Structure 1
Protein backbone atom coordinates (compact mmCIF):
# COMPACT_ATOMS: atom_id res chain seq x y z
CA UNK A 1 0.00 0.00 0.00
CA UNK A 2 1.38 3.36 -0.98
CA UNK A 3 -0.85 5.84 0.81
CA UNK A 4 -3.30 6.24 3.73
CA UNK A 5 -6.11 6.17 1.18
CA UNK A 6 -5.04 2.76 -0.08
CA UNK A 7 -4.89 1.46 3.49
CA UNK A 8 -8.37 2.85 4.14
CA UNK A 9 -9.62 0.98 1.07
CA UNK A 10 -8.04 -2.27 2.25
CA UNK A 11 -9.61 -1.84 5.69
CA UNK A 12 -12.95 -1.06 4.06
CA UNK A 13 -12.83 -4.37 2.18
CA UNK A 14 -12.76 -6.05 5.59
CA UNK A 15 -15.74 -3.96 6.78
CA UNK A 16 -13.66 -1.55 8.89
CA UNK A 17 -14.41 2.06 7.99
CA UNK A 18 -11.48 4.24 9.06
CA UNK A 19 -11.65 8.00 8.77
CA UNK A 20 -8.80 10.00 7.26
CA UNK A 21 -7.05 10.65 10.57
CA UNK A 22 -7.03 7.02 11.67
CA UNK A 23 -6.01 5.73 8.24
CA UNK A 24 -3.14 8.22 8.15
CA UNK A 25 -1.71 7.39 11.58
CA UNK A 26 -2.06 3.64 10.93
CA UNK A 27 -0.28 4.02 7.58
CA UNK A 28 2.54 5.99 9.24
CA UNK A 29 2.90 3.37 11.98
CA UNK A 30 3.30 0.67 9.33
CA UNK A 31 5.75 2.66 7.22
CA UNK A 32 7.83 4.03 10.12
CA UNK A 33 7.86 0.79 12.10
CA UNK A 34 6.46 2.52 15.17
CA UNK A 35 3.95 1.16 17.70
CA UNK A 36 0.49 2.70 17.45
CA UNK A 37 -1.21 3.76 20.70
CA UNK A 38 -4.98 4.08 20.37
CA UNK A 39 -6.98 5.70 23.16
CA UNK A 40 -10.71 6.24 23.39
CA UNK A 41 -13.91 5.04 24.99
CA UNK A 42 -14.60 1.31 25.03
CA UNK A 43 -16.29 0.06 21.89
CA UNK A 44 -15.04 2.67 19.41
CA UNK A 45 -13.04 0.15 17.35
CA UNK A 46 -9.52 0.16 18.81
CA UNK A 47 -9.17 -3.61 19.16
CA UNK A 48 -11.02 -4.21 15.91
CA UNK A 49 -8.47 -2.11 14.02
CA UNK A 50 -5.66 -4.43 15.15
CA UNK A 51 -7.66 -7.48 14.09
CA UNK A 52 -8.42 -5.96 10.71
CA UNK A 53 -4.81 -4.90 10.15
CA UNK A 54 -3.75 -8.50 10.77
CA UNK A 55 -6.22 -9.65 8.13
CA UNK A 56 -5.11 -6.99 5.64
CA UNK A 57 -1.43 -7.81 6.17
CA UNK A 58 -2.00 -11.56 6.09
CA UNK A 59 -0.27 -11.86 9.48
CA UNK A 60 -1.28 -13.72 12.64
CA UNK A 61 -2.71 -11.62 15.45
CA UNK A 62 -0.93 -12.13 18.79
CA UNK A 63 -3.02 -10.64 21.58
CA UNK A 64 -1.80 -9.68 25.04
CA UNK A 65 -4.77 -8.83 27.25
CA UNK A 66 -3.53 -6.61 30.07
CA UNK A 67 -4.68 -6.77 33.68
CA UNK A 68 -3.45 -5.79 37.11
CA UNK A 69 -0.51 -7.88 38.33
CA UNK A 70 0.79 -8.81 34.88
CA UNK A 71 4.52 -9.61 35.07
CA UNK A 72 7.49 -10.84 33.06
CA UNK A 73 6.88 -14.61 32.99
CA UNK A 74 3.29 -14.02 31.90
CA UNK A 75 4.21 -11.85 28.93
CA UNK A 76 7.77 -12.88 27.94
CA UNK A 77 8.45 -16.57 28.51
CA UNK A 78 8.43 -19.31 31.09
CA UNK A 79 9.94 -22.73 31.46
CA UNK A 80 7.75 -25.83 31.29
CA UNK A 81 8.74 -27.24 34.68
CA UNK A 82 6.51 -30.30 34.38
CA UNK A 83 8.14 -31.41 31.12
CA UNK A 84 11.61 -30.60 32.48
CA UNK A 85 10.95 -32.81 35.50
CA UNK A 86 9.72 -35.65 33.30
CA UNK A 87 12.85 -35.34 31.19
CA UNK A 88 15.06 -35.53 34.28
CA UNK A 89 13.25 -38.63 35.53
CA UNK A 90 13.56 -40.29 32.13
CA UNK A 91 17.27 -39.45 32.01
CA UNK A 92 17.81 -40.87 35.48
CA UNK A 93 15.95 -44.02 34.49
CA UNK A 94 18.22 -44.29 31.47
CA UNK A 95 21.30 -44.07 33.66
CA UNK A 96 22.37 -40.53 32.72
CA UNK A 97 24.29 -38.97 35.61
CA UNK A 98 26.24 -36.17 33.89
CA UNK A 99 24.94 -33.05 35.70
CA UNK A 100 26.25 -30.60 33.07
CA UNK A 101 24.63 -32.58 30.27
CA UNK A 102 21.33 -32.77 32.15
CA UNK A 103 21.32 -29.04 32.84
CA UNK A 104 21.96 -28.29 29.18
CA UNK A 105 19.16 -30.60 28.10
CA UNK A 106 16.67 -29.25 30.64
CA UNK A 107 17.14 -25.69 29.41
CA UNK A 108 16.68 -26.61 25.78
CA UNK A 109 14.41 -24.47 23.56
CA UNK A 110 11.81 -27.25 23.42
CA UNK A 111 11.03 -26.68 27.10
CA UNK A 112 10.53 -22.94 26.70
CA UNK A 113 6.96 -21.61 26.74
CA UNK A 114 6.69 -18.52 24.55
CA UNK A 115 4.34 -15.92 25.98
CA UNK A 116 2.85 -13.15 23.75
CA UNK A 117 5.89 -10.85 23.58
CA UNK A 118 8.30 -13.66 22.71
CA UNK A 119 5.80 -15.07 20.22
CA UNK A 120 5.64 -11.70 18.50
CA UNK A 121 9.43 -11.45 18.35
CA UNK A 122 9.72 -14.95 16.87
CA UNK A 123 6.82 -14.72 14.41
CA UNK A 124 7.40 -12.89 11.13
CA UNK A 125 5.26 -11.19 10.13
CA UNK A 126 2.84 -10.65 13.00
CA UNK A 127 0.55 -8.06 14.54
CA UNK A 128 0.98 -7.68 18.30
CA UNK A 129 -2.10 -6.32 20.06
CA UNK A 130 -1.44 -5.07 23.60
CA UNK A 131 -5.01 -4.58 24.70
CA UNK A 132 -6.10 -2.23 27.51
CA UNK A 133 -2.61 -1.37 28.66
CA UNK A 134 -4.13 1.06 31.16
CA UNK A 135 -5.32 -1.94 33.18
CA UNK A 136 -1.75 -3.19 33.77
CA UNK A 137 0.57 -1.88 36.48
CA UNK A 138 3.03 0.90 35.70
CA UNK A 139 5.89 -1.59 36.27
CA UNK A 140 4.69 -3.60 33.28
CA UNK A 141 5.35 -0.62 31.03
CA UNK A 142 9.07 -0.86 31.86
CA UNK A 143 9.12 -4.45 30.55
CA UNK A 144 7.25 -3.37 27.46
CA UNK A 145 9.54 -0.43 26.77
CA UNK A 146 12.60 -2.68 26.90
CA UNK A 147 11.11 -5.06 24.35
CA UNK A 148 9.81 -2.32 22.05
CA UNK A 149 13.18 -0.57 22.00
CA UNK A 150 14.87 -3.25 19.87
CA UNK A 151 12.41 -6.16 19.70
CA UNK A 152 14.82 -8.49 21.42
CA UNK A 153 14.38 -10.70 24.50
CA UNK A 154 17.30 -11.99 26.54
CA UNK A 155 16.98 -15.47 28.02
CA UNK A 156 19.92 -16.23 30.35
CA UNK A 157 19.95 -19.94 29.52
CA UNK A 158 19.66 -19.50 25.73
CA UNK A 159 20.91 -16.03 24.84
CA UNK A 160 19.14 -13.21 23.03
CA UNK A 161 16.28 -13.82 20.63
CA UNK A 162 15.88 -10.93 18.22
CA UNK A 163 13.10 -10.27 15.71
CA UNK A 164 14.25 -10.54 12.09
CA UNK A 165 11.22 -8.46 11.16
CA UNK A 166 9.64 -6.39 13.97
CA UNK A 167 5.94 -7.01 14.51
CA UNK A 168 3.29 -4.40 13.89
CA UNK A 169 2.37 -3.24 17.38
CA UNK A 170 -1.01 -1.79 18.37
CA UNK A 171 -1.62 -0.72 21.97
CA UNK A 172 -5.08 0.22 23.19
CA UNK A 173 -6.17 2.15 26.25
CA UNK A 174 -9.56 3.11 27.65
CA UNK A 175 -7.73 5.74 29.72
CA UNK A 176 -8.67 4.41 33.14
CA UNK A 177 -5.20 5.74 34.02
CA UNK A 178 -2.59 7.72 32.14
CA UNK A 179 -0.02 5.75 30.18
CA UNK A 180 3.52 6.83 31.07
CA UNK A 181 5.07 9.51 28.87
CA UNK A 182 8.10 7.30 28.13
CA UNK A 183 5.85 4.76 26.43
CA UNK A 184 3.82 7.42 24.64
CA UNK A 185 7.02 8.90 23.19
CA UNK A 186 7.85 5.53 21.68
CA UNK A 187 4.48 5.37 19.90
CA UNK A 188 2.43 7.19 17.34
CA UNK A 189 -0.79 8.30 19.03
CA UNK A 190 -4.43 8.59 18.00
CA UNK A 191 -7.60 9.30 19.96
CA UNK A 192 -10.65 7.50 18.58
CA UNK A 193 -13.91 9.40 18.94
CA UNK A 194 -17.35 7.91 18.65
CA UNK A 195 -18.23 8.03 14.96
CA UNK A 196 -20.32 10.79 13.45
CA UNK A 197 -23.94 10.03 12.60
CA UNK A 198 -23.20 9.46 8.91
CA UNK A 199 -20.19 7.24 9.62
CA UNK A 200 -22.10 5.13 12.14
CA UNK A 201 -24.91 4.63 9.64
CA UNK A 202 -22.31 3.57 7.07
CA UNK A 203 -20.73 1.16 9.56
CA UNK A 204 -24.06 -0.47 10.37
CA UNK A 205 -24.95 -0.89 6.70
CA UNK A 206 -21.47 -2.24 5.94
CA UNK A 207 -21.38 -4.72 8.81
CA UNK A 208 -25.03 -5.79 8.61
CA UNK A 209 -26.14 -5.98 4.94
CA UNK A 210 -29.66 -7.02 5.99
CA UNK A 211 -30.15 -3.74 7.84
CA UNK A 212 -32.39 -1.18 6.17
CA UNK A 213 -31.22 2.41 5.80
CA UNK A 214 -34.15 3.52 7.99
CA UNK A 215 -33.22 1.22 10.84
CA UNK A 216 -29.51 2.12 10.59
CA UNK A 217 -30.34 5.84 10.77
CA UNK A 218 -32.69 5.38 13.73
CA UNK A 219 -30.21 3.25 15.64
CA UNK A 220 -27.33 5.69 14.96
CA UNK A 221 -29.50 8.63 16.03
CA UNK A 222 -30.53 6.79 19.20
CA UNK A 223 -26.92 5.87 20.02
CA UNK A 224 -25.84 9.49 19.56
CA UNK A 225 -28.48 10.72 21.96
CA UNK A 226 -27.65 8.08 24.53
CA UNK A 227 -23.98 9.13 24.47
CA UNK A 228 -25.11 12.55 25.64
CA UNK A 229 -27.46 11.23 28.33
CA UNK A 230 -24.93 10.95 31.16
CA UNK A 231 -24.95 7.16 31.26
CA UNK A 232 -22.51 5.06 33.28
CA UNK A 233 -21.34 3.39 30.07
CA UNK A 234 -22.50 5.05 26.86
CA UNK A 235 -22.82 2.62 23.93
CA UNK A 236 -19.90 2.27 21.55
CA UNK A 237 -19.97 1.13 17.95
CA UNK A 238 -19.66 -2.49 19.05
CA UNK A 239 -22.83 -2.14 21.11
CA UNK A 240 -24.80 -0.43 18.34
CA UNK A 241 -23.83 -3.25 15.97
CA UNK A 242 -24.95 -5.83 18.56
CA UNK A 243 -28.21 -3.95 19.15
CA UNK A 244 -28.97 -3.68 15.45
CA UNK A 245 -28.22 -7.36 14.97
CA UNK A 246 -30.57 -8.21 17.85
CA UNK A 247 -33.31 -6.08 16.28
CA UNK A 248 -32.77 -7.73 12.90
CA UNK A 249 -32.91 -11.17 14.51
CA UNK A 250 -36.38 -10.28 15.76
CA UNK A 251 -37.44 -9.08 12.32
CA UNK A 252 -37.27 -5.32 12.86
CA UNK A 253 -37.19 -3.00 9.86
CA UNK A 254 -37.62 0.13 11.92
CA UNK A 255 -36.86 1.07 15.52
CA UNK A 256 -40.08 0.03 17.21
CA UNK A 257 -39.99 1.35 20.83
CA UNK A 258 -41.36 -1.84 22.42
CA UNK A 259 -39.00 -4.13 20.50
CA UNK A 260 -36.11 -1.77 21.17
CA UNK A 261 -36.84 -1.84 24.91
CA UNK A 262 -36.90 -5.64 24.86
CA UNK A 263 -33.45 -5.75 23.25
CA UNK A 264 -31.87 -2.98 25.30
CA UNK A 265 -29.56 -5.52 26.99
CA UNK A 266 -27.59 -5.72 23.74
CA UNK A 267 -26.89 -1.99 23.93
CA UNK A 268 -26.55 -1.05 27.60
CA UNK A 269 -24.74 -3.21 30.16
CA UNK A 270 -25.45 -1.38 33.44
CA UNK A 271 -28.69 -1.58 35.43
CA UNK A 272 -28.45 2.14 36.20
CA UNK A 273 -28.37 2.93 32.50
CA UNK A 274 -31.47 0.83 31.85
CA UNK A 275 -33.25 2.72 34.60
CA UNK A 276 -32.16 6.06 33.17
CA UNK A 277 -33.30 5.22 29.66
CA UNK A 278 -36.55 3.52 30.59
CA UNK A 279 -37.48 5.66 33.58
CA UNK A 280 -36.43 9.19 32.63
CA UNK A 281 -38.00 9.46 29.21
CA UNK A 282 -34.75 9.17 27.24
CA UNK A 283 -35.84 5.95 25.60
CA UNK A 284 -39.23 7.27 24.59
CA UNK A 285 -37.67 9.68 22.13
CA UNK A 286 -35.12 7.36 20.57
CA UNK A 287 -36.68 7.14 17.14
CA UNK A 288 -36.19 10.83 16.43
Structure 2
Protein backbone atom coordinates (compact mmCIF):
# COMPACT_ATOMS: atom_id res chain seq x y z
CA UNK A 1 0.00 0.00 0.00
CA UNK A 2 1.35 3.43 -0.91
CA UNK A 3 1.86 6.18 1.63
CA UNK A 4 -1.01 8.19 0.12
CA UNK A 5 -3.30 5.19 0.30
CA UNK A 6 -2.32 4.61 3.91
CA UNK A 7 -3.06 8.24 4.69
CA UNK A 8 -6.46 7.96 3.04
CA UNK A 9 -7.32 4.75 4.89
CA UNK A 10 -6.27 6.24 8.22
CA UNK A 11 -8.23 9.43 7.58
CA UNK A 12 -11.28 7.45 6.52
CA UNK A 13 -11.23 5.33 9.68
CA UNK A 14 -10.94 8.45 11.80
CA UNK A 15 -13.90 10.03 10.06
CA UNK A 16 -16.39 7.20 10.31
CA UNK A 17 -15.45 5.60 6.99
CA UNK A 18 -15.37 8.76 4.89
CA UNK A 19 -12.15 10.45 3.84
CA UNK A 20 -12.37 14.05 5.08
CA UNK A 21 -11.61 16.70 2.46
CA UNK A 22 -8.63 18.03 4.38
CA UNK A 23 -6.05 17.92 1.65
CA UNK A 24 -4.13 21.05 2.61
CA UNK A 25 -3.36 23.19 5.65
CA UNK A 26 -5.72 25.81 4.24
CA UNK A 27 -8.57 23.28 4.09
CA UNK A 28 -7.88 22.26 7.67
CA UNK A 29 -7.80 25.91 8.78
CA UNK A 30 -11.21 26.42 7.14
CA UNK A 31 -12.59 23.33 8.88
CA UNK A 32 -11.21 24.48 12.22
CA UNK A 33 -12.74 27.91 11.68
CA UNK A 34 -16.16 26.23 11.34
CA UNK A 35 -15.76 25.01 14.93
CA UNK A 36 -14.84 28.50 16.17
CA UNK A 37 -11.10 27.81 16.34
CA UNK A 38 -9.12 30.34 14.30
CA UNK A 39 -5.78 28.85 13.28
CA UNK A 40 -2.94 30.79 11.72
CA UNK A 41 -0.87 29.32 8.86
CA UNK A 42 1.81 27.83 11.12
CA UNK A 43 -0.65 26.09 13.39
CA UNK A 44 -2.76 24.75 10.52
CA UNK A 45 0.35 23.41 8.79
CA UNK A 46 1.64 21.65 11.93
CA UNK A 47 -1.75 20.07 12.64
CA UNK A 48 -2.16 19.02 9.00
CA UNK A 49 1.28 17.36 8.95
CA UNK A 50 0.58 15.63 12.26
CA UNK A 51 -2.51 14.05 10.72
CA UNK A 52 -0.84 13.10 7.43
CA UNK A 53 2.40 11.81 8.96
CA UNK A 54 0.61 10.08 11.84
CA UNK A 55 2.90 11.80 14.33
CA UNK A 56 1.90 13.23 17.73
CA UNK A 57 1.64 17.02 17.88
CA UNK A 58 3.52 18.53 20.82
CA UNK A 59 1.99 21.94 21.64
CA UNK A 60 3.95 24.16 23.99
CA UNK A 61 3.19 27.69 25.17
CA UNK A 62 1.84 29.87 27.93
CA UNK A 63 -1.47 28.93 29.58
CA UNK A 64 -4.46 30.22 27.67
CA UNK A 65 -2.96 30.14 24.17
CA UNK A 66 -5.41 27.54 22.81
CA UNK A 67 -3.48 24.28 23.13
CA UNK A 68 -6.27 22.23 24.67
CA UNK A 69 -8.87 23.92 22.49
CA UNK A 70 -6.93 22.81 19.41
CA UNK A 71 -7.35 19.14 20.34
CA UNK A 72 -11.06 19.71 20.96
CA UNK A 73 -11.45 21.41 17.59
CA UNK A 74 -9.54 18.66 15.76
CA UNK A 75 -11.78 16.01 17.30
CA UNK A 76 -14.84 17.94 16.14
CA UNK A 77 -13.45 18.37 12.62
CA UNK A 78 -12.60 14.65 12.32
CA UNK A 79 -15.83 13.44 13.90
CA UNK A 80 -13.65 11.66 16.45
CA UNK A 81 -14.04 10.99 20.16
CA UNK A 82 -11.86 13.27 22.29
CA UNK A 83 -10.16 11.26 25.04
CA UNK A 84 -8.31 13.38 27.60
CA UNK A 85 -5.51 12.32 29.90
CA UNK A 86 -4.87 15.07 32.45
CA UNK A 87 -1.31 14.74 33.74
CA UNK A 88 -0.36 15.62 37.31
CA UNK A 89 2.49 15.16 39.73
CA UNK A 90 2.79 11.48 40.58
CA UNK A 91 0.71 10.10 37.71
CA UNK A 92 1.74 6.58 36.75
CA UNK A 93 1.09 4.14 33.95
CA UNK A 94 -1.81 2.38 35.70
CA UNK A 95 -3.76 5.64 35.94
CA UNK A 96 -3.32 6.17 32.21
CA UNK A 97 -3.81 2.58 31.01
CA UNK A 98 -6.26 0.39 32.89
CA UNK A 99 -7.52 -0.93 36.19
CA UNK A 100 -9.60 -3.90 37.25
CA UNK A 101 -13.15 -3.50 38.52
CA UNK A 102 -12.57 -5.10 41.93
CA UNK A 103 -16.17 -4.73 43.24
CA UNK A 104 -17.54 -6.54 40.18
CA UNK A 105 -14.83 -9.17 40.40
CA UNK A 106 -15.75 -9.79 44.04
CA UNK A 107 -19.44 -10.12 43.17
CA UNK A 108 -18.54 -12.52 40.38
CA UNK A 109 -16.43 -14.62 42.76
CA UNK A 110 -19.25 -14.78 45.29
CA UNK A 111 -21.67 -15.82 42.56
CA UNK A 112 -19.33 -18.64 41.54
CA UNK A 113 -18.99 -19.77 45.14
CA UNK A 114 -22.74 -19.68 45.64
CA UNK A 115 -23.37 -21.67 42.45
CA UNK A 116 -20.75 -24.25 43.44
CA UNK A 117 -22.28 -24.55 46.89
CA UNK A 118 -25.73 -25.26 45.48
CA UNK A 119 -24.45 -27.84 43.03
CA UNK A 120 -21.93 -29.37 45.38
CA UNK A 121 -19.16 -28.80 42.88
CA UNK A 122 -15.55 -27.98 43.63
CA UNK A 123 -14.24 -24.80 42.10
CA UNK A 124 -11.27 -25.03 39.75
CA UNK A 125 -8.84 -22.38 40.98
CA UNK A 126 -7.28 -21.73 37.56
CA UNK A 127 -10.66 -21.41 35.87
CA UNK A 128 -11.90 -19.04 38.57
CA UNK A 129 -8.80 -16.85 38.27
CA UNK A 130 -9.15 -16.76 34.49
CA UNK A 131 -12.79 -15.74 34.75
CA UNK A 132 -11.93 -12.94 37.19
CA UNK A 133 -9.58 -11.36 34.68
CA UNK A 134 -11.96 -11.38 31.78
CA UNK A 135 -12.14 -8.27 29.60
CA UNK A 136 -15.59 -7.44 30.96
CA UNK A 137 -13.93 -6.50 34.28
CA UNK A 138 -11.29 -4.32 32.63
CA UNK A 139 -11.63 -0.58 33.24
CA UNK A 140 -9.98 1.21 30.34
CA UNK A 141 -8.21 4.44 31.27
CA UNK A 142 -7.56 7.17 28.65
CA UNK A 143 -4.63 5.65 26.74
CA UNK A 144 -6.18 2.19 26.49
CA UNK A 145 -9.51 3.74 25.47
CA UNK A 146 -7.78 5.73 22.74
CA UNK A 147 -6.09 2.59 21.38
CA UNK A 148 -9.43 0.80 21.31
CA UNK A 149 -11.49 3.66 19.85
CA UNK A 150 -11.60 4.58 16.17
CA UNK A 151 -11.64 7.39 15.37
CA UNK A 152 -10.22 9.17 18.40
CA UNK A 153 -8.09 12.14 19.40
CA UNK A 154 -5.96 11.52 22.49
CA UNK A 155 -5.21 14.71 24.41
CA UNK A 156 -2.30 14.32 26.84
CA UNK A 157 -2.75 17.57 28.73
CA UNK A 158 0.04 19.30 30.67
CA UNK A 159 2.60 16.55 30.16
CA UNK A 160 5.18 18.81 31.79
CA UNK A 161 3.53 18.09 35.16
CA UNK A 162 4.37 14.36 34.94
CA UNK A 163 7.73 12.85 35.85
CA UNK A 164 10.53 11.28 33.79
CA UNK A 165 9.27 7.73 34.28
CA UNK A 166 5.85 8.60 32.91
CA UNK A 167 7.44 10.36 29.93
CA UNK A 168 9.35 7.15 29.13
CA UNK A 169 6.13 5.18 29.30
CA UNK A 170 4.41 7.65 26.96
CA UNK A 171 7.29 7.43 24.51
CA UNK A 172 6.94 3.65 24.32
CA UNK A 173 3.17 3.78 23.82
CA UNK A 174 3.36 6.53 21.18
CA UNK A 175 6.01 4.57 19.30
CA UNK A 176 4.31 1.17 19.36
CA UNK A 177 0.62 2.21 19.47
CA UNK A 178 0.16 -0.83 21.67
CA UNK A 179 0.18 -1.89 25.30
CA UNK A 180 0.56 -5.25 26.97
CA UNK A 181 -1.83 -6.34 29.72
CA UNK A 182 -0.47 -9.44 31.51
CA UNK A 183 -3.87 -11.07 32.05
CA UNK A 184 -5.26 -10.25 28.59
CA UNK A 185 -2.35 -9.87 26.20
CA UNK A 186 -1.41 -7.15 23.75
CA UNK A 187 -3.85 -4.45 22.77
CA UNK A 188 -2.81 -2.74 19.53
CA UNK A 189 -4.60 0.13 17.82
CA UNK A 190 -6.08 -0.84 14.44
CA UNK A 191 -5.83 2.86 13.53
CA UNK A 192 -3.56 4.95 15.78
CA UNK A 193 -5.32 7.86 17.48
CA UNK A 194 -4.38 11.41 16.60
CA UNK A 195 -2.31 12.46 19.63
CA UNK A 196 -1.97 16.03 20.92
CA UNK A 197 0.36 16.67 23.86
CA UNK A 198 0.35 20.02 25.62
CA UNK A 199 2.90 21.67 27.90
CA UNK A 200 2.86 24.97 29.79
CA UNK A 201 6.65 24.65 30.04
CA UNK A 202 6.77 24.51 33.83
CA UNK A 203 9.74 22.22 33.17
CA UNK A 204 11.55 20.99 30.09
CA UNK A 205 10.16 17.83 28.55
CA UNK A 206 12.85 15.35 27.50
CA UNK A 207 14.20 15.48 23.97
CA UNK A 208 13.37 11.81 23.35
CA UNK A 209 9.65 12.49 23.67
CA UNK A 210 9.84 15.71 21.64
CA UNK A 211 11.71 13.93 18.83
CA UNK A 212 8.80 11.52 18.47
CA UNK A 213 6.46 14.47 17.88
CA UNK A 214 5.97 17.42 15.59
CA UNK A 215 6.59 20.57 17.62
CA UNK A 216 4.38 23.65 17.76
CA UNK A 217 4.89 26.75 19.89
CA UNK A 218 1.67 28.69 20.51
CA UNK A 219 1.74 32.38 21.32
CA UNK A 220 -1.14 34.54 22.40
CA UNK A 221 -2.93 35.85 19.31
CA UNK A 222 -2.34 39.38 18.12
CA UNK A 223 -5.09 41.92 18.72
CA UNK A 224 -6.78 41.53 15.34
CA UNK A 225 -6.94 37.73 15.56
CA UNK A 226 -8.23 37.94 19.12
CA UNK A 227 -10.98 40.28 17.94
CA UNK A 228 -11.87 37.69 15.30
CA UNK A 229 -11.92 34.94 17.95
CA UNK A 230 -14.24 37.00 20.15
CA UNK A 231 -16.65 37.57 17.26
CA UNK A 232 -16.48 33.89 16.30
CA UNK A 233 -17.32 32.65 19.79
CA UNK A 234 -19.67 35.47 20.82
CA UNK A 235 -21.96 36.40 17.94
CA UNK A 236 -23.54 39.81 18.41
CA UNK A 237 -20.63 41.20 20.43
CA UNK A 238 -20.36 44.93 19.61
CA UNK A 239 -17.36 45.76 17.45
CA UNK A 240 -16.05 48.44 19.78
CA UNK A 241 -16.39 46.22 22.84
CA UNK A 242 -14.55 43.36 21.11
CA UNK A 243 -11.72 45.69 20.10
CA UNK A 244 -11.47 47.13 23.63
CA UNK A 245 -11.45 43.72 25.33
CA UNK A 246 -8.83 42.33 22.95
CA UNK A 247 -6.67 45.45 23.17
CA UNK A 248 -6.83 45.61 26.96
CA UNK A 249 -6.11 41.88 27.30
CA UNK A 250 -3.06 42.41 25.09
CA UNK A 251 -1.87 45.22 27.38
CA UNK A 252 -2.47 43.08 30.48
CA UNK A 253 -0.20 40.39 29.04
CA UNK A 254 2.58 42.95 28.87
CA UNK A 255 2.04 43.83 32.54
CA UNK A 256 3.86 42.14 35.40
CA UNK A 257 0.98 39.95 36.59
CA UNK A 258 1.01 36.67 38.50
CA UNK A 259 -1.26 35.15 35.86
CA UNK A 260 -1.71 37.08 32.63
CA UNK A 261 -5.05 36.42 30.95
CA UNK A 262 -5.37 33.92 28.12
CA UNK A 263 -7.91 33.83 25.34
CA UNK A 264 -10.33 31.93 27.58
CA UNK A 265 -10.27 34.83 30.06
CA UNK A 266 -10.82 37.33 27.24
CA UNK A 267 -13.88 35.36 26.16
CA UNK A 268 -15.18 35.24 29.73
CA UNK A 269 -14.62 38.97 30.11
CA UNK A 270 -16.41 39.83 26.88
CA UNK A 271 -19.27 37.48 27.77
CA UNK A 272 -19.63 39.03 31.23
CA UNK A 273 -19.74 42.52 29.75
CA UNK A 274 -22.23 41.36 27.12
CA UNK A 275 -24.52 39.89 29.79
CA UNK A 276 -24.42 43.18 31.69
CA UNK A 277 -25.51 45.03 28.56
CA UNK A 278 -22.24 46.94 28.19
CA UNK A 279 -21.61 48.50 24.77
CA UNK A 280 -18.07 49.56 25.60
CA UNK A 281 -15.36 48.94 28.15
CA UNK A 282 -14.93 51.80 30.60
CA UNK A 283 -13.50 52.15 34.10
CA UNK A 284 -16.75 51.23 35.83
CA UNK A 285 -17.62 48.20 33.69
CA UNK A 286 -14.01 46.98 33.75
CA UNK A 287 -13.78 47.26 37.54
CA UNK A 288 -17.07 45.40 37.96
CA UNK A 289 -15.96 42.47 35.80
CA UNK A 290 -12.26 42.08 36.60
CA UNK A 291 -12.98 38.73 38.23
CA UNK A 292 -13.68 37.31 34.78
CA UNK A 293 -10.21 38.12 33.48
CA UNK A 294 -7.90 38.19 36.52
CA UNK A 295 -7.68 35.33 39.00
CA UNK A 296 -5.43 36.70 41.75
CA UNK A 297 -6.29 39.44 44.22
CA UNK A 298 -2.86 41.00 43.81
CA UNK A 299 -3.36 41.22 40.04
CA UNK A 300 -6.83 42.69 40.41
CA UNK A 301 -5.63 45.32 42.90
CA UNK A 302 -2.71 46.30 40.67
CA UNK A 303 -4.87 46.59 37.56
CA UNK A 304 -7.74 48.37 39.32
CA UNK A 305 -5.35 51.19 40.15
CA UNK A 306 -4.25 51.44 36.50
CA UNK A 307 -7.56 51.20 34.68
CA UNK A 308 -7.52 54.79 33.43
CA UNK A 309 -4.15 54.20 31.76
CA UNK A 310 -4.99 50.75 30.43
CA UNK A 311 -8.26 51.87 28.87
CA UNK A 312 -6.81 54.97 27.27
CA UNK A 313 -6.96 54.57 23.50
- Coarse TM-score class (shorter-chain normalised): over 0.9
SS of residue paired to 2:301: helix
Quote the Cα distance in structure 2 between the aligned partners of 1:179 and 1:67: 14
SS of residue paired to 2:243: helix
**Cα distance, 1:283 vs structure 2:** 5.2
Matched, 1:213 2:239: yes
The root-mean-square deviation of aligned C-alpha atoms, in Å, is 1.0
Match of 2:143 in 1: 117
1:140-188 CA deviation, whole Å, 9 max, x = no partner?
Answer: 1111111101110101111101000000000011101111111000000
- Displacement over 3 Å in runs of 4+: none
| Among candidates 134, 138, 151, match of residue 108 of structure 1 | 134
Match of 2:223 in 1: 197
| Among candidates 6, 18, 27, match of residue 39 of structure 2 | 18
Structure 1: where are the runs of 5+ without partners? none
Structure 2: where are the runs of 5+ without partners? 1-21, 117-121
SS of residue paired to 1:166: coil
Between the two proteins, the alignment pairs up a number of residues equal to 287
Match of 1:285 in 2: 310
**Cα distance, 1:282 vs structure 2:** 4.8
Could you state the TM-score of these two structures normalised by the residue count of structure 1? 0.98
Matched, 1:223 2:244: no
**Cα distance, 1:284 vs structure 2:** 4.0
Matched, 1:132 2:158: yes
| Among candidates 68, 74, 77, match of residue 47 of structure 1 | 68
Match of 1:263 in 2: 289
Match of 1:27 in 2: 48
- Equivalent residues of 2:25, 2:45 under 8 A apart: yes
Could you state the TM-score of these two structures normalised by the residue count of structure 2? 0.90
Match of 1:167 in 2: 193
Matched, 1:2 2:23: yes
**Cα distance, 1:33 vs structure 2:** 0.2
Comparing 90-99 with 242-251, which one deviates more in the overlay?
A: 90-99
**Cα distance, 1:73 vs structure 2:** 1.3
1:56-84 CA deviation, whole Å, 9 max, x = no partner?
Answer: 00001000011011012110111111111
Quote the Cα distance in structure 1 between the aligned partners of 2:249 and 2:96: 37
